[in-house]
């Protein structure tokens, strides 16, 4: 068996995807890994033989020609064959081939975290230079919070995702929609029956795919001894080393309860007075840099309507204390029909992004709870979630 030394950011699902294995194969070869919630840097894994394709180098081959022939990236080829370069392509040498690229750039190869977001930003920028990326703020630990801009219209739209840490699957779902939109523009084709060229001319769409990068990374990789808030996070998590149910940022503040819309009422309702995995609204509204970044960005672009993507429940929340405009309910019904989701008139909830947006701007704002199950939603749901989310977001773009 091949041996592998765990690196920072590795998880069982990411390693399995990289080497063409099922996660169950890794657990059979390394039964100890099932007894701990996370891998730690320096641990050794045994990699069972995979069914990956092999290729014998032919005369005249190059990394570029092999990648193009078998439809994958040069980077994926080099990752599976460390040290491989054009100079090292000796005729007769046997190399391992990655899986051929699927039709989308945005895919899942294990959990989707801040590092995967940066990689996909670069890929999308190369394919579609008209997608403009900017940094709208930083997290508690200094990670960039990015926004994508598509379009040149006078009216602005906003969609954010991954505000709650264990709802990270909303981030790649949002980026898949961005990719489909950009490809439709590039090819001059439609999307879910809509004319995307008209969207591009009429609207400027802003996407914030990962509003809580520290929290997402914590859910996926844990808080080992090297984490700067290791001891404090363990205390806030009740001594548990498993952070997969964590919703808050790394300060233990629930960013879904951080916005200045009857914040005091929400704090009383939640009853949390100190940092926790969820439901602690913080010492004051907008105390956290992630919430502040979304707040300032939204004020700066003044969207005509907005969405905050969450999971789970397959529901759409559209109202807030009777401050929503009259078209909001009918529009929520249209969004629900597009994705098969249920519009819900929500009461007894304050301090969310959607709540503040409706209260401040008196414009339509929606919370979309994608998928159904227990967060984090399973990776195998991703493609179905992309279809549901894409249909809803396309309907959102087309609202009039």
Whats the size of the chain, residue-wise?
400
* Cβ-Cβ contacts under 8 Å for 75 (sequence gap 6 or more): none
Helix axes 353-361, 289-301, angle to 10 degrees: 30
What is the DSSP code (8-state) at residue 173?
H
Q: For residues 281 and 299, what is the distance between their CA atoms, to the nearest angstrom? A: 21
Q: For residues 89 and 85, what is the distance between their CA atoms, to the nearest angstrom? A: 7
Cα 343 to Cα 85, 221, 314, 315, 334: the distances in Å are: 54, 34, 9, 6, 9
Q: Which residues pair with 273 in a beta bridge?
A: none
Q: Backbone phi, then psi, for 215, in 5-degree steps?
A: -65, -40
Cα 146 to Cα 133, 158, 220, 297, 376: the distances in Å are: 7, 13, 20, 11, 22
Cα 2 to Cα 56, 76, 190, 211, 229: the distances in Å are: 20, 19, 47, 38, 34
Short-list 276, 241, 231, 245, CA closest to 40 = 241
* Cβ-Cβ contacts under 8 Å for 395 (sequence gap 6 or more): 192, 334, 335, 337, 338, 339
Short-list 333, 335, 399, CA closest to 370 = 335
End-to-end CA distance of the chain: give it in Å, rounded.
60
Q: Which residues pair with 155 in a beta bridge?
A: 203
Q: Which residues pair with 316 in a beta bridge?
A: 343, 368
Q: Which are the catalytic amino acids? A: 369
Short-list 126, 247, 150, 166, CA closest to 208 = 150
Cα 252 to Cα 5, 111, 140, 290, 294: the distances in Å are: 31, 21, 11, 12, 18
């Amino acid at each position: 068996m091949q041996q592998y030394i765990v690196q920072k950011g590795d998880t069982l699902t990411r390693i399995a995807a990289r080497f063409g294995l099922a996660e169950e194969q890794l657990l059979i070869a390394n039964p100890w890994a099932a007894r701990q919630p996370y891998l730690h840097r320096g641990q050794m894994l045994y990699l069972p033989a995979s069914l990956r394709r092999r290729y014998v180098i032919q005369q005249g081959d190059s990394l570029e020609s092999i990648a193009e022939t078998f439809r994958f990236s040069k980077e994926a080829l080099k990752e599976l064959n460390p040290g491989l370069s054009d100079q090292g392509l000796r005729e007769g040498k046997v190399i391992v081939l990655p899986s051929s690229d699927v039709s989308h750039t945005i895919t899942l190869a294990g959990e989707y975290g801040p590092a995967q977001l940066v990689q996909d930003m670069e890929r999308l920028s190369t394919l579609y230079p008209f997608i403009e990326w900017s940094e709208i703020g930083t997290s508690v630990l200094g990670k960039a919070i990015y926004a994508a801009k598509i379009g040149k219209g006078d009216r602005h739209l906003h969609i954010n995702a991954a505000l709650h840490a264990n709802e990270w699957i909303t981030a790649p779902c949002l980026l898949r929609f961005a990719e489909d939109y950009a490809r439709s523009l590039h090819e001059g084709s439609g999307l879910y029956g809509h004319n995307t060229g008209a969207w591009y001319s009429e609207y400027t769409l802003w996407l914030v795919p990962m509003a809580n990068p520290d929290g997402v990374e914590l859910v996926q990789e844990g808080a080992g001894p090297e984490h700067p808030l290791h001891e404090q996070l363990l205390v806030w998590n009740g001594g548990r080393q498993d952070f997969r149910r964590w919703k808050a940022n790394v300060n233990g503040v629930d960013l879904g309860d951080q916005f200045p819309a009857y914040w005091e009422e929400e704090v009383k309702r939640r009853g949390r007075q100190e940092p926790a995995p969820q439901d602690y609204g913080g010492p004051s509204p907008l105390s956290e840099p992630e919430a502040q970044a979304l707040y300032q960005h939204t004020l700066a672009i003044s969207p005509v309507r907005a969405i905050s993507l969450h999971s789970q429940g397959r529901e759409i929340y559209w109202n807030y204390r009777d401050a929503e405009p009259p078209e909001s309910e009918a529009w929520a019904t249209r969004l629900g029909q597009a994705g098969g989701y249920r519009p819900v008139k929500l009461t007894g909830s304050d301090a969310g992004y959607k709540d503040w947006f409706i209260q401040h701007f008196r414009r339509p704002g929606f919370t979309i709870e994608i998928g159904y199950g227990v967060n984090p939603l399973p990776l195998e749901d991703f493609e179905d979630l992309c279809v549901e989310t894409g249909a809803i977001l396309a309907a959102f773009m087309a609202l009039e």
